[in-house]
Amino acid sequence: MNELPDLLKRVSRIAFFFLSMGCLGWAVWPAYQNVFGGFMIGVIGGMAISWHLAWKLVRIGDSVVSGRKPRSGLGFVTRACIGLLAGVISVRMLEFNLAATVTGIIASPMATLVLGLISRSRRSDGHPTDERGEKH
């Protein structure tokens, strides 16, 4: 039951690691500030997307458990708008690199995917033949 908060905590830590690396990169290589700045804005947007998705999943889970029918889906349009907003702020307002911003937006969801797959494979703790239902 505590898998989602633990996963979100790990993803947030990874995002904060990316942010700190972006700050260090900005300080060490000031000529590439538009790349590092775009990446950091993208990481912030990606983290907001991950938090929104986790909030929607908890809301939908609570409504299913209580017996109510969920009113909406997972809010793809809202998450897309968060990513678009991060891109517009990064490129139009702050004049950062678009490719770096998109890379930053993708970083948190990819970390979520990788961590989810790793935790799923660790949770089985059995022999690979146990999954097929073979009898001993």
pLDDT at 136 over 70: no
DSSP per-residue codes, 30-92: GGGHHHHHHHHHHHHHHHHHHHHHHHHHHHHHHHHHTTPPPSS---HHHHHHHHHHHHHIIII
Contacts of 61 (CB under 8 A, 6+ apart): none
For the whole prediction, is pTM greater than 0.85?
no
State both tokens at 26: 């900005």
- For 67-82, the pLDDT digits (tens) are 888 777 778 898 899 9
pLDDT at residue 127 in the model? 55
Average pLDDT over residues 83-107: 93
Report the alpha-carbon distance of residue 46 to residue 55 in Å, rounded: 14
pLDDT at 130 over 60: no
pLDDT at residue 123 in the model? 65
Amino acid, res. 120: R
Domain coordinates in residue numbering, the chain: 3-122
- For 9-33, the pLDDT digits (tens) are 888 888 999 999 999 999 999 999 9
